[in-house]
Amino acid sequence: MAACTIYTVQALNTTCSISTPTKTHLGFNQKQVFFNSNGGKGTSSGKMRGGEITCSGDTIVIGLAADSGSGKSTFMRRLTSVFGGAASPPKGGNPDSNTLISDTTTVICLDDYHSLDRTGRKEKGVTALDPRANDFDLMYEQVKALKDGVAVEKPIYNHVTGLLDPPELIKSPKILVIEGLHPMYDQRVRDLLDFSIYLDISNEVKFAWKIQRDMAERGHSLESIKASIEARKPDFDAYIDPQKQYADAVIEVLPTRLIPDDNEGKVLRVKLIMKEGVPYFNPVYLFDEGSTISWIPCGRKLTCSYPGISFSYGPDAYFGHEVSVLEMDGQFDRLDELIYVESHLSNISTKFYGEITQQMLKHADFPGSNNGTGLFQTIVGLKIRDLFEQIAAKRESTPLQSTKS
Ligand SMILES: Nc1ncnc2c1ncn2[C@@H]1O[C@H](COP(=O)(O)OP(=O)(O)OP(=O)(O)O)[C@@H](O)[C@H]1O
Ligand SMILES: O=C(CO)[C@H](O)[C@H](O)COP(=O)(O)O
């Protein structure tokens, strides 16, 4: 970049460097820059000519990958709740928007980067999981712009009509969460992530959840649910599942081992797999960091009806990475007694004693609140808050520095 002059602009705590040897662009207003849904970079006023701009914002970007029906929305509700304030779609916008905005967080759904609508996919014979049905160039441009503090006009994929609706304006938030099928698929997007999570739901459990939701709430038949799972499986295995190797934390949901040959999928064994050495992320541990522990907490302080509860913790390897794994099998009878378990966990990034229990009680009606899915989603939410606060503190002491490493 030639003769780069740095101007601080008013909007969004963002600093933009403008590569111009003269000061003729001083009138440029960063608020007017959009990355439009054709992937182009432009200004609404036309004042910006000739120069290249590079902005460095304060936004941290979190990626959440999972198949459809794997609990992403539930996780997002737990995460935004940790930051306080309610999350809602952009005010006055498209009622079918997939975006959720709260004071601190903006959650965008990567389905909005489908390049083929429902009919287009049908005609070409590709599923939504296939990279050919998604526009990764635009995803990269827009996530980068938001990370850099620049607003974008993001397309909307309408799940009701199956069409691509006119774009919506998304402003750069403090925390941007990109959730969906492919947040870690494209290396350029992956490199923008400050933290990444993969929800790994085993086939048996995914099937049980999908039946519960799509039969009960959406009126689908058992046969059509089975057929849709089967049709998605090859692309899921090829394009979605491999992303877990890149995740900083994986929540793996499996059938219980406490009930022999259980096929109901109600009692779950859930693992929280936490990568070691991730900046600003200290894995949670049980009793003694780095040791291997098995713990049955049932007894005087924790009521457990059949089949009971068991925890385990220890070091392991995951796709060649050193990880710590915390596992919970079984379910809680009484959520208020969760405080007993919480008090034996360390590095949980709570701000006060009992914060996990309080969060779980607050959302007792969310699916998974009585088992490891809710517990570990809540813990990951607290770890993300901690990561955000550490990065913000570091930026305050050393402005304009990259924080990833
Ligand atoms: N932890 C859980 N325990 C039990 N059931 C769950 C859990 N999480 C999700 N489910 C079930 O799965 C369904 C889908 O959950 P959710 O809507 O959060 O997933 P999603 O990944 O956002 O789905 P989609 O992408 O299709 O909108 C819920 O309606 C519920 O039936
Ligand atoms: O895997 C999905 C992600 O949520 C959806 O199936 C995908 O977005 C396609 O949408 P639709 O079901 O509207 O055709």
Q: pLDDT (tens digit, 9 = 90+) per residue, 292-319?
A: 999 998 887 888 888 889 999 999 999 9
* Enclosing H/E stretch for 386: helix 372-397
C-alpha dist (Å) from residue 174 to 101, 107, 149, 151: 11, 11, 9, 12
- Ligand 1 pocket (Cβ < 6 Å) reads 66, 68-74, 209, 212-213, 367-368, 373
Instruction: Tell whether omega for the bond before 90 is within 30 degrees of 0, i.e. cis.
Output: no
Expressed in angstroms and rounded, the spacing between residue 106 Cα and the centre of ligand 2 is 20
Q: Dig out the tokens for 390 from the structure.
A: 């550490």
- The pLDDT value given to residue 113: 98
Most confident of 48-52, 91-95, 237-241: 237-241
Q: List the one residue out of 282, 212, 200 whose CA is nearest residue 240.
A: 200
Residues in the chain: 405
Q: Dig out the tokens for 98 from the structure.
A: 């997939």
- The pLDDT value given to residue 20: 43
Determine contact, residues 181/135, Cβ cutoff 8 Å: no
- The pLDDT value given to residue 381: 97
Handedness of CA 395, 401, 404, 405 (dihedral sign): negative
Whether the complex's predicted ipTM is more than 0.90 is answered with yes
pLDDT in tens, 266-276: 899 999 999 99
- The pLDDT value given to residue 217: 72
Determine contact, residues 108/170, Cβ cutoff 8 Å: yes
Is the pLDDT at 182 greater than 70, yes or no? yes
- 8 or 335, greater pLDDT: 335
pLDDT in tens, 154-174: 999 999 999 999 999 999 999
Q: What is the CA radius of gyration of the chain?
A: 22
φ/ψ region of 397 (left if φ > 0, alpha if ψ in -120 to 50, else beta) reads: alpha
Expressed in angstroms and rounded, the spacing between residue 70 Cα and the centre of ligand 1 is 5
Question: Does the C-beta of 73 come closer than 6 Å to ligand 2?
Answer: no
- The pLDDT value given to residue 333: 86
- 87 or 361, greater pLDDT: 361
- The pLDDT value given to residue 404: 53
Report the nearest-CA residue for atom 4 of ligand 2.
68
Q: What angle do helix axes 72-82 and 372-397 make, rounded to 10 degrees? A: 50
Is the pLDDT at 11 greater than 70, yes or no? no
Q: How far is Cα 329 from Cα 311, in angstroms, rounded to an integer?
A: 6
Question: Does the C-beta of 109 come closer than 6 Å to ligand 2?
Answer: no
In the three-class reduction of DSSP (H, G, I as helix; E, B as strand; rest coil), residue 179 is classed as strand
Percent of the chain with pLDDT over 70: 84
- 32 or 128, greater pLDDT: 128
Task: Please state the atom number of ligand 1 nearest to the C-alpha of residue 373.
Answer: 1
- The pLDDT value given to residue 401: 52
